Amino acid sequence: MKHSTCPGSIPPAFTRRGFLQQASAGFGMLALNGLFSREATAATHVAAKAKNVIFCFMDGGPSHVDTFDYKPMLKKHQGQPIGTSWLNRRTQGEGNRVWLGSPWEFKQRGQSGLWVSDLFPHLAGVADHLCVVRSMVGEIPLHGQSNLLLHTGRIGGQAPSLGAWVSYGLGTENQNLPGYMLLNNDWVPNGGLENFGSSFLPASHQATTMRAKGTPVDNITPGDTAMIQRRKLALLARQNSAFAAQSSDAQAIEAAIANYETAFLMQSTVPGIADISGEPAHISKLYGLDSTDEHQRLYATQALRARRLVEAGVRFVEITCPSFDGNNSPWDQHGQLKLNHEKNARITEQSVAALIIDLHQRGLLDETIVLWAGEMGRTPHTPAVTATAGRDHHVSGYTIFMAGGGFKGGTAFGETDEFGANAVVNPVSIHDIHATMLHQMGLDHTRLTFRHGGRDQRLTDVHGHVIREILA
């Protein structure tokens, strides 16, 4: 929309937007960005239980029937044909497949008696903190679409990620840090970086990546003095502001200005957070930093950084899994189920359990949601029972868990059938999980919206409801 130049009109430079673009060489845009976030959600707040999220993304799909969903009928009927009645479009396979029992024993853990398999000895030790949802239902048993559904609420993507929505709705508590950090382990999941993007939201809400190996964040170490950097940034801000005043997409330029400003401020904060060498020896050991497995040490490093980031005020932190062979989604075991699920468990589960323990000890677990989820589960059946048998893609019934953030610990919600094939009690969609997490953070998912494409867009689209049964 063009600005009027008739007598009495306000020139662009003297509107609130124009003033902040030019004031302090553009540094006022950071305040405007925060103001936009507050305005976006001013009417949507409910009583908040949580302030932060740490999302432990188990890329590839851990097997629900080998972790938290105990199905003794699988072992009883192992090797028997499943028949065509157990197949649907949400599972992978044909009617000539056979049931496959779990190679791990299940036990009831903690005071709650929550079922957890021996695959997860450390998570078994924090069972009373876990709120396990065993009736998740997806849409398509493909990694890319399911990853995008998990992260953006759309199987086709082209929408902001959960982390971007949280950042947009609540901002960051520390202006030296972004609202959304991605702790990457040198692996980009199917669906690509769109899983962590901001799409039509301002670009300042997309994930900022911190690597496990090498330099944690690109271009974060200053090459010039602070004075020279400020002069360079001021020049860049003036140029961008002048361009924004003439552009039809001023918001994108404003977001870029805010990103430059945040990057400048990050220089004084990120190196200290990324450096975990000062952590006490017992904390390093708790997370598994003394492991002989390099992948486990790297994952432990990122888990410990996640705790430090939420301590510092970052709203949303996501940790990805490393791909130990560098080619396949980490938990995607179509073959060698026992070998590779044990490898993935060894790499990740001690650090996830340590994160829950550490947050609890520091009084942070009540205000931090720890989400553990893959994009799907695994089939309870296989082509043949062999020593190298695996499980295929399965979204008609699978498992995730939350800990902290006002979720009921030691709880299992929903059920699959006796073989773990289909959700039969309290089916839950990822939209329901998104709605419930936003609710715990004080945001109404139906009112956290952004105008785009001619309508008010939201994370949950036209779906989702708050699952009050799992809230403390």
| Full pLDDT tens readout for the chain, 472 residues | 333 333 333 333 333 334 334 433 333 333 344 444 434 443 456 889 999 999 999 999 999 999 999 999 999 999 999 988 887 878 877 778 999 999 999 999 999 999 999 999 999 999 999 999 999 999 999 999 999 999 999 999 899 999 999 999 999 898 889 999 999 988 899 999 999 999 999 988 999 999 999 888 876 665 556 666 667 667 766 776 777 676 666 666 666 666 666 666 667 688 899 999 999 999 999 999 999 999 999 999 999 999 999 999 999 999 999 988 877 899 999 999 999 999 999 999 999 999 999 999 999 999 999 999 999 999 999 999 999 999 999 999 999 999 999 999 999 999 999 999 999 999 999 999 999 999 999 999 999 999 999 999 999 999 999 999 999 9
| Residue linked to tokens 């097997």 | 63
Domain boundaries of the chain, sorted by first residue: 43-220+287-470
pLDDT of 374 reads 98
Is this model's pTM higher than 0.75 or not? yes
Taking each helix axis from N to C end, the angle separating 162-170 and 430-440, rounded to the nearest 10 degrees, works out to 20
pLDDT of 259 reads 63
Q: Which architecture characterizes domain 43-220+287-470 according to CATH? A: 3-Layer(aba) Sandwich (3.40)
Long-range Cβ contact pairs of 359-365 (< 8 A, separation 24 or more)? 359/307, 359/310, 359/404, 360/129, 360/404, 362/307, 362/311, 364/52, 364/307, 364/310, 364/311, 364/404, 365/129, 365/403, 365/404, 365/405
CA angle centred on 433, ends 430 and 434, rounded to 5°: 90
- Residue 171 corresponds to which tokens in the numbers above? 């901002």
Largest CA distance in the chain: 85
